[in-house]
Structure 1
Amino acid sequence: MRRSFYQFLMTLRNPESVEPEAEFANNAFRDQSFPKQEEDYEKLSEYLELNAGYLPAMTIFDEAYAKYKDTDRK
């Protein structure tokens, strides 16, 4: 079974890190409305652009999503 982007993102969580991807994951964990079952880039991107004030730059999402897709191919 393929995991969702959220499930992948949770592997990047680290409350003690100041790395942008870890902070994104930490904040997404606290975001009760995050689309936890979503895999689609466009739907996730739209949600984040409209609702994720905690994400300082969409490039952080883009890089995390690229890693997600890379792990999906393995």
Structure 2
Amino acid sequence: MAYRESFYRYLMTQRNADSNDEVAQFANNAQNDQTFPKQEQNYEKLSDYLELNGGYLPSMSIFDKAYQMYREKMTY
């Protein structure tokens, strides 16, 4: 399924420097990741990237949660 915007663009809408929410913290940290695949929509490619380069992500379950939120928003 093709989404209207990239996962990164969606994730940037979740940023909140004052929040302790794990998805918000993921978004804050991803913003500073210069090599994040900013145009990517594919779960597997994003997951592979984060497993190798996402040292700022304490658990892949946070990515899974954020990706599910992205899918739900993009299917409307």
Q: TM-score range by the shorter chain?
A: over 0.9
Q: Point out the structure with the larger helix share.
A: 1
TM-score by length of 1: 0.97
Partners of 2:71 and 2:31 in 1: CA distance: 20
Q: TM-score, normalised by structure 2?
A: 0.94
- 1:54-73 correspondence runs (5 A): 54-73=56-75
- Give the unaligned 5+ runs of structure 2: none
* Unpaired runs of at least 5, structure 1: none
* In structure 2, C-alpha distance between the alignment counterparts of 1:62 and 1:26, rounded to whole Å: 16
* Post-superposition offset of 1:18: 1.2
Identity of aligned pairs, percent?
59
Runs of 4+ in 1 over 2 A off after TM superposition: none
- What is the alpha-carbon root mean square deviation over aligned residues? 1.0
